[in-house]
A and B are shown apart, each in its own frame.
Chain A
Amino acid sequence: MSIIVKNISKSYGQVKALDDISLEVRPGELFGLIGPDGAGKTTLFRILTTLLLPNEGTASVNGFDIVKDYKSIRNNVGYMPGRFSLYQDLTVEENLRFFATIFGTTIKENYDLIRDIYVQIEPFKNRRAGRLSGGMKQKLALSCALIHKPKVLFLDEPTTGVDPVSRKEFWEMLKRLQKQNITIFVSTPYMDEAELCDKIALITDGKILQINTPEAIKASFPKKIYKVRSSETFKLIQDLGTYNKTHSAYPFGEYIHFTSTQSDFQPSELIDYLKANKHNQIEVLETNATIEDTFMELSK
């Protein structure tokens, strides 16, 4: 196993940030930690990268114990913290060179690894990091975490604030890194990214709700989901909110995902209800659960 976490708990004063967490990540696996802000994701990252000690439990990374062998872990992993780790006064290139140097390597040696992401900020390599846009900073931070070719890569919300095109390219890059047998442990608030992981853990309030493949987690969704739309979205949200058979109704782009409290629910009932409430161009279609549906259902 590349990462083993056994019964880890961590409290800050009264607040239990992690409550008896256990999980395992195989070598070369792309493992996603999916949960909202405040769920405890960053605390787990900090423990696994030896920056924080747990109150209870044990963990190892690449066979090294997080307490005894912390020095070996630091040399073997790359870590991109969610909040910026860059030197704002150094230029883009100076930041990257700095991270390469402390790990005894050069930009040239591992350029291949970072190329896809770095080329997008390379035109601005003489600009100070503090003057980059939000998403450009994320790309630089990722390049810095990768430049020493780590065996295990820890990425804490690497794509928050990153635009959709770059997110797509970023995940294609993660898939390529995986082929070089780098283990990737990544957290994200973007539920569509969860679907790209080999395995995911859904986490909230310091507890793991489920660990499985994205397919299995979606298949476990307990209800039928209907996507609903009409000509007036705002009114539709309100009317579904007050409908007496609504279990949940969440906007998903141009549709609302609707589930009913009734197990024998028929879409025609909903159509009648919406017609009675003067909706036009009503559409009610069965649809498949996404990770986002599952997550919202579990954290309800």
Chain B
Amino acid sequence: MKAANAIQVKNLTKTFGEFTAVNNISFHVGKGEVFGFLGANGAGKTTAMKMLIGILKPTSGKAQVANYDITSHANDVKKNIGYMSQRFSLYNDLTIKENITFFGGIYGLKKATIKTKTQALINDLGLHDEANKLVGSLPLGWKQKVAFSVSLLHDPQIIFLDEPTGGVDPITRRQFWEMIYREAHKGKTIFVTTHYMDEAEYCDRVSIMVEGKIEALDSPKNLKTQYKVDSMNQVFLKLARNIE
């Protein structure tokens, strides 16, 4: 396996009883890449992502994330990645500051480090007035920006984002992608799912999953050429349900 890859997946499979949610997928993600993990509802994206971050055991197949095997070294994987789940991943009944302190603690950061990181995070997001408000009272877009920053607290090499912008307003959605770009420029690897096809255009490469399998994987530009269409939306329509 090449050391330059942040994620390396081989024949990864997950079944629930008779049902195969992830069906023998293989791919890699390079260091510093923004990788879009697309697919229809129920295609198996969240299930695959849960295996890659070490919280769900594969039925068969292998994967390495940050050079650790996801089955035998699940804990090392968790320490080296950041994760934002499809459902919101902060505590609504804690303030922004309390959430940061709480997650900083989980990631094993020192008190002093948490303090400086908290200040930096609040400065970066311009949330001085909101820092002591309950997260539950914030607009979704702000929550998502805070959740993203929190997933970066322990300086992970790879960040997994499961539909981070679903339902977020258009301006905040763009600010969120600016944050993603900034992290990618620092050399972080981004693994992101989305149902917004304009966001698919912002990825270096995207894969499209259909019923547990990866049916296409390339840069947005090449995919559009390959399927002879001029938007990612059309590529998606063609692949996911064969709509012309």
Judging by beta carbons under 8 Å apart, are A139 and B141 in contact? no
A side interface size, CB within 8 A: 38
**Interface range, B side:** 35 or more
Q: Which of B166, B201, B202 contacts A160 (CB 8 A)?
A: B166
- Taking CB atoms, residues of chain A closer than 8 Å to B202 are 233, 251
Residues of A within 8 Å of B163, CB to CB, are: 134, 161
Q: CB within 8 Å of B: which of A17-49?
A: 35-38
Query: In the complex, are the beta carbons of B240 and A253 less than 8 A apart?
Result: no
A136 contacts the other chain (CB 8 A):
yes
B177 nearest CB neighbor, chain A only? A251
Nearest chain A CB to B188 CB, angstrom units = 14
The answer to whether A166 touches B174, judged by C-beta atoms less than 8 angstroms apart, is no
CB nearest neighbor in A for B167: A160
Residue of B nearest to A190 (CB): B196
CB distance from B20 to the nearest CB of A (A): 13
Q: Is the CB of B201 within 8 A of A253?
A: yes
Between A and B, how many residue pairs show CB distances below 8 Å? Answer: 106
A259 to B198, CA, bound (A): 19
Residue of A nearest to B44 (CB): A133
Known: A165-B236, A253-B201. Is A136-B41 also a contact (CB below 8 A)? yes
- Min CB–CB distance A233 → chain B (angstroms): 8
Q: Which of A101-109, A217-225, A292-300 sits within the interface?
A: A292-300
Chain B residues numbered 154-192 whose CB sits less than 8 Å from any CB in chain A: 163, 166-172, 174, 177-178, 181, 185
For B166, the chain A residues whose CB sits under 8 A away are: 134, 160-161
The one of A139, A168, A292 that contacts B41, using a Cβ cutoff of 8 Å = A139
Are B170's CB and A295's CB within 8 A? yes
Chain A residues with CB below 8 A from B178, complex form: 237
A179→B218 CA distance, assembly (Å): 41
Give the CA-CA distance A251 to B202 in the complex, in Å.
9
- Provide the residues of chain A in CB contact with B236, threshold 8 Å: 163-165
- Nearest residue in A to B198 (C-beta to C-beta)? A253
Interface residue? A282 (CB, 8 A): no
- Tell me, in angstroms, the Cα distance from A172 to B163 when the chains sit together: 24
Contacting B167 at CB < 8 Å: which of A131, A161, A253?
Answer: A161
Q: Is A165's CB under 8 angstroms from B237's CB? A: yes
- Whether A135 contacts B42 by the Cβ 8 Å rule is yes
Q: Is the CB of B174 within 8 A of A250?
A: yes
Looking at the assembled complex, report how far the CB atom of A243 sits from the nearest CB atom of chain B, in whole angstroms: 16
Flag whether A189 is at the interface (Cβ < 8 A): yes
Given A38-B140, A134-B46, A234-B181, CB of A164 within 8 Å of CB of B171: no
CB–CB A253/B197 < 8 A: yes
User: Which residue of chain A lies nearest to B239 when distances are taken between CB atoms in the complex?
Assistant: A165
Asked whether B42 lies within 8 Å of A299 as measured between CB atoms, the reply is no
- The answer, yes or no, to whether B54 is at the interface (CB within 8 Å) is no
A132 at the interface (CB under 8 A from B): yes
Instruction: Decide if B168 touches A162 in the complex (CB within 8 Å).
Output: no
CB distance from B196 to the nearest CB of A (A): 8
Contact at A163–B41, with CB atoms within 8 Å? yes
Beyond A135-B41, A253-B232, A254-B220, whether A165 also contacts B167 by CB under 8 A is no
A166: B residues at CB distance < 8 A = 40-41
Residues of chain A with a CB closer than 8 A to B168's CB: 36-37, 189
Contact with B along A134-174 (1 / 0, CB 8 A): 11101100000000000000000100111111111000000
Per the bound structure, the CA–CA distance linking A45 and B16 in Å amounts to 38
Residues on A with beta carbons closer than 8 Å to the beta carbon of B167: 37, 157, 160-161, 189
CB distance from A117 to the nearest CB of B (A): 11
Q: What CA separation (Å) do A253 and B236 show in the bound complex?
A: 14
Binding site for B on A (CB under 8 A): 35-38, 124, 131-136, 138-139, 157, 160-168, 189, 191, 233-234, 237, 250-254, 292, 295-296, 299-300
Q: A166-B40, A299-B169, A299-B171 are in contact. List 6 more A-B contacts (CB 8 A).
A: A37-B139, A37-B169, A163-B43, A250-B170, A250-B171, A253-B198
Smallest CB-CB A-B distances: 6 pairs: A135-B41, A36-B169, A37-B140, A38-B139, A253-B198, A160-B167
